[in-house]
Amino acid sequence: MHTPIALLLELGIILAVLSLLGTVARRFALSPVPLYLLAGLALGDGGLAPVPAARDFVDTGAAIGVILLLLVLGLDFTVREFTVSLRRHRSSAVIDLVLNAAPGAVAGWLLGLDAGGILALAGATYVSSSGIVARLLGDLRRLGNRETPAVLSVLVVEDFVMAAYLPLLAVVASGGTWWQALLAVAAAMTAVTAAIAVSWRWSQHVGRILSHPDAEQVLLRVLGITLIVAALAEIIHVSAAVGAFLIGLALTGTAADRARAVLSPLRDLFAAVFFLALGLTVDPGDLLPMLPAAAALAVVTAATKVAAGWYAARREGAGRRGRLRAGTALIARGEFSVVIIGLAAPAQGRLAALVTTYVMLLAVCGPVLTRFAPTRQAAPRPPAPRDRAGGRPPHEVSAAGPLPAPPRPGSGRDAAGPD
């Protein structure tokens, strides 16, 4: 078998660079996502050191990366918990749609775009990046925070909206009729509803099928079924990430713990490739001409995302710091906006450059803002009483009992209360 030397060399260099960037990010307690995106800019077409031999592998790995991110995220929740959260956040979803799609629609109208262009830009400003947000919540150890169920509810509702939006955009951009658009939307929503019903009704059976004492069997079964479901989701114009998230929700208890343990290293590898690939899709020379318009749109929609996240987190009972964390977590845009460009850009020359610049700005700045959002302040500890002999505190004199177990990630509640 012939060994593709160029592919091996480029992949080795890519992984070494990502490792170095990850080390630098951890050194300063940052998420490595912005650095991975900038590395993609440097290695892509028009960058400092293109990697043509590794491009196909990176593109494939990126698709797997976003699937694994959402799969592992779903493992931290149950169908029942998440369904309750979705019902609670119906109004949050409406506010998120209105606040974030409107600026894109207005900008498209001011730029003189046609109906397809206006619809595409509204979608690009509306939908957050599920992949980036999922990685941030893990990197910053916020899965157990009170506001996290609100963030995930907003994300998944956005992905469900995309299930109807993408077929609609495809028909409008191609000049189809209104009844063709209506038929495409109805088919997609029917498929999504059926998938949720199956996940709710048969989750225990799914867990039994995918469980096994051997770690290799768990990896092969869970990843295989997830990729099949993701492919079926794409066939009916539903996000592959939604299909992966539903598989994660269907696994609970010991099955979820086993799957999380064997999949986490694989997720970290392909997630890094996903963020790199997002940067590779951008030619740095296309960014500068549209930078002023994209920056103005980014500022407006960053503020509207914070407002939507603030409202959603308030419905979960989070305090002011938690609401701000939720809002900043939703700022980043990413993979869906790239898909939207692919559907609408052939007929919209300026739109591709504008959306690409806009996505890169928020994909890089969003994680930075999320990192520096106010974190939980530890509750003040009362002064420790001293023993009668004036020596050490009692808890240092005798052996302490076992520490209480930390809250389960994704429960949406932690011991510190509202924050």
Distance between CA 46 and CA 359 in Å, rounded? 18
Could you tell me if 210 and 222 are in contact, meaning their C-beta atoms sit under 8 angstroms apart? Answer: yes
Query: What pLDDT sits at residue 1?
Result: 60
Does residue 318 register a pLDDT over 90? no
Domain ranges for the chain, please list them.
12-371
264-274 mean pLDDT = 88
Query: What pLDDT sits at residue 111?
Result: 87
pLDDT 10s digits, 402-414:
333 434 444 443 4
pLDDT 10s digits, 241-264:
777 877 887 787 788 888 888 998
Distance between CA 38 and CA 152 in Å, rounded? 26
The third-level CATH classification (topology) of the domain covering 12-371 is Na+/H+ antiporter like fold (1.20.1530)
Query: What pLDDT sits at residue 171?
Result: 78
Residue 384 pLDDT class (50, 70, 90 cuts): very low
Q: What separation, in Å, do the N-terminal and C-terminal C-alpha atoms of the chain show?
A: 58
Query: What pLDDT sits at residue 411?
Result: 43
Buried b (16+ CB within 10 A) or exposed e, 142-172: bbbbbbbbbbbbbbbbbbbbbbbbbbbbbbb
For Cα atoms 78, 84, 89, give the angle at the middle one, nearest 5 degrees.
120
175-200 mean pLDDT = 72
Nearest to 340 by CA among 329, 325, 356: 356
